[in-house]
A and B are shown apart, each in its own frame.
Chain A
């Protein structure tokens, strides 16, 4: 006969076992480097001009609001061509790539992303002259996104 306390203990044990099995296999630094090289095409990466707005302490990793803005006049002569968002420790390093042109008038995009664990989020902008700029933000996630596992 199983009493309430034993049942509770078993339930906790099963839950803990399940969590161990579901430990996420995160993207490696190599895979992040690979997608970054794919985006930059080998251009040197400079810091500045890009601003990644994201909460540094995220309570719910399932839908984290992000805004990426780039210091650009968005004219035919000087504009942002692409904005990319990458992450360090989700199962896959890519998050999104946005395509812009002078018709946008303002170099700013926003979306909601998933974060599997505490990690660095990288925003990059590629200008029409081919130069690449970045901003990295370290984010602490208290409730991880259910990207993997049951």
Chain B
């Protein structure tokens, strides 16, 4: 089971713009490398991260092999109401991992 982090403030005032940083544990194997006996290593990367606030998509990204291992993405979010931020990571070999964090606004 992959480990993941959602780094953001737990509380905010209405209208605040908050910084969010999300990270997941993953090797991001590029598919361009080979092992010690020269056999190619299959690509195994995270291809997509989607962030939803109470179901509404607020940020998404397509990722490629040039993203470093243990991918980390930072973005901003305007706080308008309390709710839950769900972060979903999807990738090769059926990889799927979802995490969530609560934001209290008021």
| Interface hits, B51-88 → A, CB 8 Å | 53, 56-69, 71-78
Known: A64-B68, A97-B61, A111-B67. 4 other contacts (CB 8 A): A91-B32, A92-B65, A111-B73, A112-B68
Interface residues in B, total, Cβ within 8 A = 32
B75 contacts A146, C-beta separation under 8 Å: no
Q: Which residues of B contact A92 (CB under 8 A)?
A: 32, 64-66
Closest to B56 in A: A103
Closest to A60 in B: B68
| Interface hits, A73-101 → B, CB 8 Å | 87, 90-92, 94-101
Which of the residues B59, B64, B74 comes within 8 Å of A100, measured between beta carbons?
A: B59
At the interface, yes or no: B34 with Cβ under 8 Å from chain A? yes
Q: Which residues of A contact B32 (CB under 8 A)?
A: 24, 91-92, 147-148
Q: Which residues of A contact B34 (CB under 8 A)?
A: 149-150
A104 contacts B62, C-beta separation under 8 Å: no
The CA of A91 and the CA of B43, in the complex, are separated in Å by 13
A96 contacts B33, C-beta separation under 8 Å: no
The CA of A111 and the CA of B72, in the complex, are separated in Å by 5
B77 contacts A105, C-beta separation under 8 Å: yes
At the interface, yes or no: A62 with Cβ under 8 Å from chain B? yes
Question: How big is the A interface, by class?
Answer: 35 or more
The CA of A114 and the CA of B72, in the complex, are separated in Å by 13
Which of the residues B21, B35, B56, B65 comes within 8 Å of A114, measured between beta carbons?
A: B65
Chain A positions near chain B (C-beta within 8 angstroms)? 24, 62-64, 67, 87, 90-92, 94-106, 108-115, 145-150
Known: A105-B77, A106-B76, A149-B33. A113 touches B60 (CB 8 A): no
Q: Which residues of A contact B58 (CB under 8 A)?
A: 101, 103-104
At the interface, yes or no: B5 with Cβ under 8 Å from chain A? no
Which of the residues B30, B53, B74 comes within 8 Å of A111, measured between beta carbons?
A: B74
B75 contacts A147, C-beta separation under 8 Å: no
User: How far in angstroms is the closest Cβ of chain B from A113?
Assistant: 5
Of all A-B residue pairs in the complex, the 9 with the closest CB atoms, nearest first, are: A105-B78, A110-B74, A105-B17, A106-B76, A63-B68, A112-B68, A94-B64, A148-B32, A95-B66
Q: Which residues of A contact B35 (CB under 8 A)?
A: 150
Closest to B65 in A: A92
Q: Which residues of A contact B30 (CB under 8 A)?
A: 91, 114, 147-148
Q: Which residues of A contact B78 (CB under 8 A)?
A: 102-105
The CA of A118 and the CA of B77, in the complex, are separated in Å by 34
